[in-house]
Amino acid sequence: MPPKHIFPEKVNRAPKRKDILSAEEKQLAIRNALRYFPKEWHSELASEFAEELRAYGRIYMYRFKPSYTLRARPLEEYPTQSKQAAALMLMIQNNLDPAVAQHPEELITYGGNGAVFQNWIQYVLTLQYLALMTDDQTLHLYSGHPMGLFPSSKNAPRVVVTNGMMIPNYSKPDDWEKFNALGVTQYGQMTAGSFMYIGPQGIVHGTTITILNAFRKILKPQETVGGKIFLTAGLGGMSGAQPKAGNICGCITVCAEVNPKAAEKRHEQGWVDVLIYNIPDLIARVRTAQKNEEVVSIAFIGNVIEVWECFDQENIHVHLGSDQTSLHIPWTGGYYPIGFSFDEATKMLQKDPENFKKEVQKSLRRHAAVIQKHTNKGTYFFDYGNAFLLEASRAGADIMAENKIDFKYPSYVQDILGPMCFDYGFGPFRWVCASGDTADLERTDAIALSVMETLSKTAPPEIQLQLQDNITWIKNAKTNKMVVGSKARILYADAEGRMKIAEAFNQAIAENKIGPVVLGRDHHDVSGTDSPYRETSNIYDGSKFTADMAIHNVIGDSFRGATWVSIHNGGGVGWGEVMNGGFGMLLDGSSEASERLKSMLFYDVNNGVARRSWARNKEAIFAIKREMERTPNLKVTLPNLVDDNLLKSLF
């Protein structure tokens, strides 16, 4: 048995989780934990695990955390029988790298609860299985628990991952607290439990694409982004990308953050240009920035409602408005109420959570009311996937549209990413250079750029802007210095683009120009995620509350050549609110890899385009028709459109 764990200094630890289990259930949690270990260790471990459960609300089995450094190593350094298994080790270790992960001691990569494994013994066992496995076996992971290696075939995925799959009626937030504390499920977020996280680069790219396209919606022809204001909130894990993305887009970003430490950290890292602690200074600085049409990002330390209200009084026009506070967890500190300092509110949350909840609800109503004042004056406000509209509506804010079904404001997917990207198949394709060599990353950037420039020469006007944005992104990728952890890159591409880039990588690997490459994507994509208030919010045929697309995607990818597949409950918008899946694929330069990438990437994108087309989204109908012309073997059911007048007279 390894010695007791000594915690490293200054490491960011996960908050204590809810003490939700009854005494009997706590015994079950300990019994569950001990089944990993020989009986002679039980008495020592039982009391240690009981102490962990008391102190942290979960059993992390810290003692079994390896003493070696967790980080992505070059692929050939992994002692495996299967190169594909080595690719998984690399990606798992990257997600747990202390430079990458949010709470590395608790195996949390991002999002507060995005777990890679539930505990350290699951990590140790999984790595052991991966070291042993051959290309004729598949490892099945149940929410981090390695159920075992099963015989399969070379064409099967090496690993099948499920996270948080629940019987639907047991998918309330407290069910996660309970079953996670029992040690039988986990919240994998999107790319945490699927080993596909690439640090902050992913969110900076996604936010850049969102802001660029949002401005396109509101600017008149010939008008530029210079001097226009983007007002938002949050400088945390993901939200911290907003000022950096705002700078890349060329606007004035004002980002409020209640937690001074979070804002100061982002300032030190160079992610936000200016820190401002009071409203008069903020107004003066914003007016100067407007006058000079500066590209600048400003962090205001305080509640975002204060900024919305003072900009209203001062008649400072906000062109784009959004919010990225953590409203997927509104009652546990994700959203801070107005009228209290950060410390006062934190104390209230600990001592009087009921009152904290009431204050949050009150604030959400006030927040929505002042946004309305701005939108009346022409501000374009969008929900940025943090459940702002959902929670504001649940708090009783005046935020519903006249039909009482939709919200007054769109989500960023409804208005921006859905019709402008996802419906055409454009989504967050990513890759990791498994050699760990920066020169490989630069070579892959050059390959991807050349493929996209070639595609843009003959691409139809409908997708030109998306291609151009990503050409610009990849040209500047190196100078934007976004790489943390593994040597990874992201860009948005459609099915054709993803396949052509991947094929060019595989060719370069075969010619020994670069080392092996792991392909993947964010789950936040065209086909992988069913999420009615986010990824599939622009589906209007009533099917946005179904999850067939995500399930088809993971099954479809699994038999078309993915190295691993994953399907998760929860991610971004919350447990029970979304089903999302993804894949990983190792390219090794072989002809088999070439076949696999074509078959799987084609389906991985076009599954969602077909579903979006069936939902009558005109951009998707265009994209799937175009795909059918290119691919005679593809036959997709197309919708017939119905005359509105015919329906009006029926009921």
Q: Which residues contribute to the site for ligand NAD (CB under 6 A)?
A: 111, 203, 206, 233-239, 256-259, 262, 303-304, 324-328, 334-336, 384-386, 524, 572
- The residue number with the shortest CB distance to ligand NAD is 236
Q: How far is the CB of 353 from ligand NAD (least distance, A)?
A: 16
Q: Which C-beta is closer to ligand NAD: that of 158 or that of 534?
A: 534
Nearest Cα to Cα of residue 613 among 605, 604, 622: 622
**Residue 230: beta bridge partners?**
253, 320
| Residue 446 to residue 441: CA distance in whole angstroms | 9
Beta-carbon neighbour count of residue 533 at 10 Å? Answer: 24
Which amino acid, residue 421? C
Which amino acid, residue 600? M
Helices 201-218/241-249 angle, 10° precision = 50
Nearest Cα to Cα of residue 429 among 629, 597, 217: 597
Q: Which C-beta is closer to ligand NAD: that of 127 or that of 238?
A: 238
Q: How far is the CB of 118 from ligand NAD (least distance, A)?
A: 21
Q: How far is the CB of 167 from ligand NAD (least distance, A)?
A: 24
Q: How far is the CB of 566 from ligand NAD (least distance, A)?
A: 17
Q: How far is the CB of 599 from ligand NAD (least distance, A)?
A: 28
What is residue 100's three-state secondary structure?
coil
| Residue 477 to residue 449: CA distance in whole angstroms | 11
Beta-carbon neighbour count of residue 273 at 10 Å? Answer: 18
Q: Which C-beta is closer to ligand NAD: that of 444 or that of 566?
A: 566
Helices 495-510/591-614 angle, 10° precision = 170
Instruction: Tell me the two tokens of residue 628.
Output: 């059918």
Check: CB of residue 339 under 8 Å from CB of residue 399.
no
Q: Which C-beta is closer to ligand NAD: that of 104 or that of 385?
A: 385
Q: How far is the CB of 263 from ligand NAD (least distance, A)?
A: 8
Q: Which C-beta is closer to ligand NAD: that of 225 or that of 262?
A: 262
Check: CB of residue 546 under 8 Å from CB of residue 552.
no
Instruction: Tell me the two tokens of residue 444.
Output: 């892959």
The owner of tokens 């979070």 is 262
Q: Which C-beta is closer to ligand NAD: that of 82 or that of 569?
A: 569
Contacts of 453 (CB under 8 A, 6+ apart): 471
Which amino acid, residue 498? R
Cα three-residue angle 301-305-311, rounded to 5 degrees: 90
Q: Which C-beta is closer to ligand NAD: that of 318 or that of 327?
A: 327
Q: How far is the CB of 454 from ligand NAD (least distance, A)?
A: 29
Each residue of 298-322: b (16+ CB within 10 Å) or e?
A: bbbbbbbbbbbbbbbeeebebbbbb
Check: CB of residue 608 under 8 Å from CB of residue 425.
yes
Burial (0-12, 13-18, 19+ Cβ within 10 Å), 206: buried
Each residue of 444-482: b (16+ CB within 10 Å) or e?
A: bbebbbebbeebbeebeeebeebbebbbebbeebeeeeb
Q: Which C-beta is closer to ligand NAD: that of 234 or that of 520?
A: 234
What is residue 566's three-state secondary structure?
strand
Q: Which C-beta is closer to ligand NAD: that of 117 or that of 335?
A: 335
**308-317: long-range pairs with CB below 8 Å, 24+:** 308/231, 308/367, 308/370, 308/371, 308/374, 309/370, 310/279, 310/282, 310/283, 311/231, 311/374, 312/370, 312/373, 312/374, 314/283, 316/229, 316/283, 316/286, 316/287, 316/290, 317/229, 317/377, 317/378, 317/379
| Residue 272 to residue 255: CA distance in whole angstroms | 9
Check: CB of residue 452 under 8 Å from CB of residue 477.
no
Q: How far is the CB of 524 from ligand NAD (least distance, A)?
A: 6
Report how far Cα 184 is from the mean position of its chain's Cα atoms: 23
Query: Can you say whether residue 571 is alpha, beta or left, with left for phi > 0 and alpha for psi between -120 and 50 degrees?
Result: left
